[in-house]
Amino acid sequence: MGTGNNAKKKKKKKKEEEEHRDYDADITSHYDSKEVLTSGNPEIDKKMGGGIPAGSLTLIEGPNDCGKSVLAQQLLWGGAQQGFDIAVYTTENTIKSLLKQMDSLALDVSDFFVLGNLKIYPISGEAEDSDGDSTFLDMIIDDLSKKPSEMVLIDSLTVFVTHSSNNEILNFFTACKKLCDTGKTILLTVHSYAFGEEMLTRVRSICDAHLSLKLEEMGDKLIKTMEIAKIRGAQRTTGNIISFDVEPKFGLRIIPISRARA
């Protein structure tokens, strides 16, 4: 009886190992296509169910210093490796500081920038006042609709949505969704405090993917966590909550929960 049970366990374990290998191969196969936006890091992509389907509108939200920009840069790097034509609108960096920051995290994209596959547009909060009849949200949609970029990252929306009405915010996200329906993949980072609770709920429902980042206290340490709240159309079941850290010359590294609590 015991021998029979052991044989079943070994057979089950072998099947699980084969499925695991097939899953890993399936994920890395996306790196040569544009059907799914990946981070370029198999461990992270596995937690995201293989990656974010192209043509998705993704919201990356959380408090200060929780890793929103680094996660966005990891996805930017992955998209560049896959051959996406990318536009980045940043309120957080200049062109030089963004390229330098990504290089310091082993996410060098300078070659893609030089070749013109990556375009970086630094913007400031003052852009809001550049046209009395148009908000920045209106202008960015107008600009996006004219550009051929396949992938767009806006890091961050916070300074603009905090000065926008609820209707302006909803119109912006709805317009982004329509652009995604034409094939663009759009990622937006924002601080959670930028929206009221009701507006945040409505914005999340419009988006195809929602990644919620937090800082959690574990003992005497602050640990960054990412909840993969949803990825519509993900090819596999997504992970729930990931603990991670940001390391120089490496980038975003997943930390096992047991180690994070130690």
In the chain, domain spans:
36-261
Sheet arrangement for strand 209-218: 118-122, 86-90, 151-155, 185-191, 57-62, 209-218, 221-231, 241-247, 251-255
Q: Does residue 25 surpass a pLDDT of 50?
A: no
More confident residue, 32 or 182: 182
* Ranges 14-18, 28-32, 87-91, 198-202: which has the least confidence: 14-18
- Predicted confidence band at 152 (pLDDT cuts at 50, 70, 90)? very high
The pLDDT score that the predictor gives to residue 239 is 62
Which tokens is 147 given?
């550009």
Q: What share of the chain has pLDDT > 70, as a percent?
A: 81
Report pLDDT for 46: 87
Reported as a pLDDT band with limits 50, 70 and 90, residue 22 is very low
The average pLDDT across 15-32 equals 51
119 compared with 128, residue with greater pLDDT: 119
pLDDT band for position 48 (cuts 50, 70, 90): confident
Write down the pLDDT at residue 9: 52
Output the pLDDT for position 18: 45
DSSP string, 31-95: GG-SSEE--S-HHHHHHTTTSEETT-EEEEEESTTSSHHHHHHHHHHHHHHHT--EEEEESS--H
Average pLDDT over residues 53-81: 96
Task: Report the topology of domain 36-261.
Answer: Rossmann fold (3.40.50)
Examine the pLDDT at 63 and tell me if it is beyond 90: yes
Q: Read off the pLDDT of residues 93-109 as tens digits, 9 standing for 90 and up.
A: 999 999 999 999 999 99
